[in-house]
Structure 1
Amino acid sequence: MKKLLILLLAWTLALPAQARPLLVAAASDLGYCIDELVGAYRKTAPDAELKVSLGASGNFFAQIRNGAPFGVFLSADMDYPRQLAKLGAADGATLTPYAFGRIALWSTDPRIDPARGLAALVRDPRVLRVAIANPVTAPYGRAARAALERDGLWTAVQPKLVVGENIAQTAQFVQTGNAQVGIVSFATLHATKLKGVGRYALVPHEGLAPIEQGAIVTKAGAGNPHAAGFLQYLSTPEARAILARNGFSLPEGAAR
């Protein structure tokens, strides 16, 4: 992986700034709407070429910190881009909140009713495996752990856990039956292929830190006008409508 990043960095830097594609690192929960966001932005900037990679925000943070040439970072946790700015790896003046996420209990097993809440993950003997994203690198995994800890269930549920690298893989565990229940992002359940599949219930957010998602222009994106352009686009009414349609809550007063 390190060798690949070095080669990609060398290739990118060899191009003049205006000819470089904008490499976008996007949190996995955006996987079901990022293409629509990019396509809509390109209608406003036809010369833009954006290449998107999806993954866990913590992994992207580490890669960008170590020189990966992503020009824009769309994180599922504001803290990661904020840390990059403090490290000098991103422009803090461009840090932009673009959405708030929610977590939901989701199951495709007809015997399992997510409306029974988190306690059923421990008490229901039919629940053998519970999927969550990695709490170390994925903000939605961290939120899942925080909710379980809040309800005093974290220790009891650990023997049942199946941990996904990111929220997309977590959803796959539920889809394929490798877990009877998953704690996933509400946005994931708005994907076209998942709408109406199984049953879900939003996890109460009382006592939990909000899942504030943030975008930033990295050091590698400083010379690409579309880096700032794409971030500005995320605050437009059109982009906000796309995000809202895909299960995200929106920061107040961001439209312009």
Structure 2
Amino acid sequence: MNPIVKGALLVGALLVVGAGVVAGLRGTSPPGPEASPPTAEARPALTIAAASDLKFALDELLQDFRAKNPGADVRVTYGSSGNFLAQLSQGAPFDVFLSADVTYPRELVKQGLVEGEVFLYGVGRLVVWVPEGSPLPVDTQGLEALRSPAARRIAIANPQHAPYGRAAQAALESQGLLPELQERLVLGENIAQTAQFVQSGNADAGLIALALALAPAMKQAGHYVEVPLGAYPRMEQGGALLKTAKDPALARRFRDTLLGAEGKALLRRYGFFLPGE
């Protein structure tokens, strides 16, 4: 068995995103309003498995997408990309996979599960986030501030299956901090749960996605400083359409919206670099 799949399978097949970063952050977003009363004819349907760092950007994008596709039942589940890889490898009924690590949809290509080509949609960025009133001087010291005894618990995503967790681990290791801080790390199931840990006070600092730190509620509750890009591997994020998609045309329209001008502008606003940048 491929080591990427084997590692992901160890985590378990079923996931839920957890408590959420803010009120309203849930694993599945509700479908849009129906344009007309239900009929006997099946509604167009689209189910998306998306990396947790996309939560706020994708929810915003889907508002407009649903409006342009009235009557379509569009649902999205947010979680760990590694867990999604395990589920999709076992036949989970998703139509689109948006991963925080492009190697995961490429693995699905090897398994013969992808329709067309894998596409890149963004490059993720890592930040150190602390709540307002924190004594940690992250603004001036960055990662070095985590050496402080006040950083008793430091939240990162689980590096076994979450790309942002691997990035956080790599960043700490590159700065020589991992051995010293290892015992203080608390692991979130995915990057959204990691952000929830620190936002709720269950951790004193967190290494989270810039896209989550830029969400309005997170901006109001704390502040962040970016981790230098050279401290962790480039986080190329990519997606794929699954051969089992219930409505391939609807799946393609969603992909084209994400990769089009509207999607690019939204992703950039939420702190993603775009492919090629």
Shorter-chain TM-score above 0.5? yes
- Alignment match of 1:83 (pick from 107, 116, 127): 107
What SS does structure 2 have at the residue aligned with 1:234?
helix
RMSD between aligned residues: 2.3
One-letter code aligned to 1:61: L
Whether the 8 Å CA contact 1:167–1:185 is kept in 2: the answer is yes
- Mapping of residues 169-248 of structure 1, within 5 Å: 169-221=193-245, 223-248=247-272
CA distance in 1, matches of 2:249, 2:73: 11
SS in 2 for 1:152: coil
State the percentage of identical aligned residues. 45
Q: 1:120 maps to what in 2?
A: 145
Match of 2:38 in 1: none
Count of aligned pairs between the two proteins: 240
**Larger CA deviation: 143-152 vs 190-199:** 190-199
Which stretch shows the higher mean deviation, 211-220 or 107-116? Answer: 107-116
TM-score by length of 1: 0.87
Unaligned runs of 5+ in 2: 1-11, 16-40
List per-residue Cα deviations over 1:22-69 (Å, max 9, x = no partner): 110011011112221112223333343211101011111100010001
* 3-state secondary structure, aligned to 1:106: strand
Separation in 2, partners of 1:3, 1:171: 21
The counterpart of 2:95, out of the listed 67, 71, 83, is 71
C-alpha contact 1:20 1:224 (8 A) present in aligned 2: no
The structure-2 alpha-carbon separation of the partners of 1:168 and 1:225, relative to structure 1 and needing over 3 Å to count, comes to same
TM (norm. structure 2) is 0.81
Deviations 1:213-250 (A, max 9, x none): 11100122175211122111111111111111222121
- Quick one: structure 1 residues 35 and 87, their matched pair in 2 at CA, closer, same or farther if it must change by over 3 Å? same
Q: Compute the displacement of 1:94 (Å).
A: 2.9
Cα distance in 2 for partners of 1:97, 1:18 equals: 31
Q: 1:3 to 1:180 in 2, by over 3 A?
A: closer
In structure 1, the gaps of 5 or more residues are 5-16
SS in 2 for 1:212: strand
Larger mean CA deviation between 45-54 and 174-183 belongs to 45-54
**Deviation beyond 3 Å, 4+ runs, structure 1:** 1-4, 17-20
Q: 1:99 aligns with which of 111, 119, 122?
A: 122
Distance 1:215 1:138, change over 3 A: same
Amino acid at match of 2:174: R
Amino acid at match of 2:137: D
Amino acid at match of 1:209: P
Partners in 2 of 1:236 and 1:45 — Cα distance? Answer: 16
Measure, in 1, the Cα distance between the counterparts of 2:79 and 2:14.
Answer: 19
